[in-house]
A and B are shown apart, each in its own frame.
Chain A
């Protein structure tokens, strides 16, 4: 008998794309829970809902390109005891339907899970209209909201499944139509609100989320060669923030670098800074999108231009060592 653990079937299916993980996880949950329903804003392929359409067509509500209505419908469904998973494009399902999100979902505290695909600058060539680099700031400012940024497709699957335990609304930030570098294990069991520490250095702490976790790991491994011990924390839940892990990093290292594919205003960096400023002030550096609208271009090149790279994380770490 082989001692090698079998890789679960879903791992191949999600093709290292968190947007597909969300849809497949919802489909998986729908098979065992007849309250699970998907509401789609023209995202059947984008979010991997085709199998669910085949399995339980009545529980995939296609709302069309009409996010305001989709958000309200999801809220109304939730009031009746259904478990809606609302699937949309990150830039539109947040900003376009923000008032419905705030009033009908967050204020009314309904159990709606929002799956937001193509977040950050994953749609680099689409231009600023299609980038979502303020979504975390918007979501984080809403009371009752749980805000998650999976580091890869595997974690997206687990965090989506974990939303079953939530009482209020939540937001799962997902990637676009490109593969994400796997940084977590298929059998990892991320707990919402509890960060995972991927490297245990004590010189500098890098707190990253989403695709920047992979960059943080690269940076840590290179800096190890220079004798700098970097702690890498995968902050997959931005809200509620894992205070304990952040404050331990503040206490046990020389400084904190945050890294996110988001504006430097109001996202992960802001959340960490707000906490340490009050509880344990430390020197910080921030990696993310500066206060300007992003240029058009292939995503890897655009990420590089704005320093959302391992190289820039390393530079920030070195600054804090000095």
Chain B
């Protein structure tokens, strides 16, 4: 039986979905090695990280300090298991590093460390990444370089006021080479964001601050890729992608609950999670 050949785009999307699945499996692998970790906010970011590192960003894993590379900052640094996973899959770091999560003298700790290949900035204190990204975007403009800067922010993180200083400043500076991705998984450490300190109406806030805003389903790879392909959205404006996601995505017991923000990962939990995720192609 002749099967219709998949379009290039479909093949690209399938490949990215597969990388996202590998990221999720690697997140659990790292957490299992560490004994615990931030699963919820790592799992929600998998599609965007896959699309960034295997489709969008101009980077050279063998030459991580290539001056003209695109920059990515994981401002929600507690999702470092996801960043480590994608950096290993892309070849920035050895695969074995994933088993060194939280290990003594490891560069792969709970939060990103600029000393590790592929990590653009040490993060972890919330509300820092966007300002740093703005500095990188201005550095590109001053040096007439083409590289772009993308910063992933968490929703709980947006409660930090420094983000809004950065939002104002980026719009004022008209840096269209700067993009923020809000991983809007709706849940923070102690509960739902809407109950703790709501961000709503978040899209109109960013528009009012002078950003070009798009909202996407952050787990729909088609929408994720389109959102990245069409950057920047408006001349002379920074771009904000609001990615509606699910905390703990892919593992039923961890989804949409603060109880799996940061938790212990004994072997039975690990096995249960991997069984739900299934095997990559």
Contact = CB atoms under 8 A, between A and B. Distances in A.
Interface in A67-107: 68-82, 84, 99-100, 103-104, 107
B57 to A, nearest CB: 16
A280 to B, nearest CB: 35
A73 B169 contact: yes
B59 to A, nearest CB: 15
**A contacts with B: majority SS:** helix
Interface stretch (A56-64, A206-214, A304-312): A56-64
Contact of A80 (B140, B166, B173): B140
A72 B136 contact: no
A72 to B, nearest CB: 3
Nearest to B163: A69
A66 interface: yes
Contacts of B142: 37, 58-59, 77, 82
Contacts of A166: none
Interface stretch (B23-31, B95-103, B124-132, B226-234): B124-132
A26 to B, nearest CB: 15
Given A66-B169, A68-B162, A99 B138 contact: no
Contacts of B129: 72
Contacts of B124: 103
B139 A69 contact: no
B114 interface: yes
Contact of B139 (A66, A68, A79, A109): A79
A66 to B, nearest CB: 4
Contacts of A78: 135
Interface string A107-119: 1110000000000
A75 B71 CA distance: 14
A72 B128 contact: yes
A10 B122 CA distance: 39
Contacts, number: 106
B139 A81 contact: yes
A76 B168 contact: no
Contacts of B166: 69, 72-73
Given A69-B169, A103-B122, A108-B122, A77 B136 contact: yes
B67 interface: yes
Given A63-B169, A66-B169, A76 B162 contact: no
B50 interface: no
A81 B161 CA distance: 28
The size class of the interface chain B forms with chain A is 35 or more
Given A76-B136, A76-B138, A81 B131 contact: no
A80 B162 contact: no
A100 to B, nearest CB: 6
Q: Which of B71, B127, B132, B166 has the most chain A CB atoms inside 10 A of its CB?
A: B132
Contact of A69 (B121, B140, B145, B165): B165
Interface in B106-147: 114, 120-125, 127-140, 142-143, 145
B238 to A, nearest CB: 13
A237 B161 CA distance: 34
Nearest to A71: B131
Contacts of B127: 68
Nearest to A63: B169
A266 B159 CA distance: 33
A72 B168 contact: no
A253 B253 CA distance: 71
B121 A79 contact: yes
A59 B139 CA distance: 10
A75 B67 contact: no
A167 to B, nearest CB: 15
Contacts of A71: 131
A121 B169 CA distance: 31
Closest 9 CB pairs of A and B: A76-B135, A72-B131, A80-B139, A69-B165, A66-B165, A73-B135, A76-B132, A68-B162, A77-B135
Given A72-B132, A76-B136, A79-B136, 10 more contacts: A61-B138, A64-B169, A69-B168, A72-B135, A76-B133, A76-B138, A77-B135, A79-B139, A100-B162, A104-B128
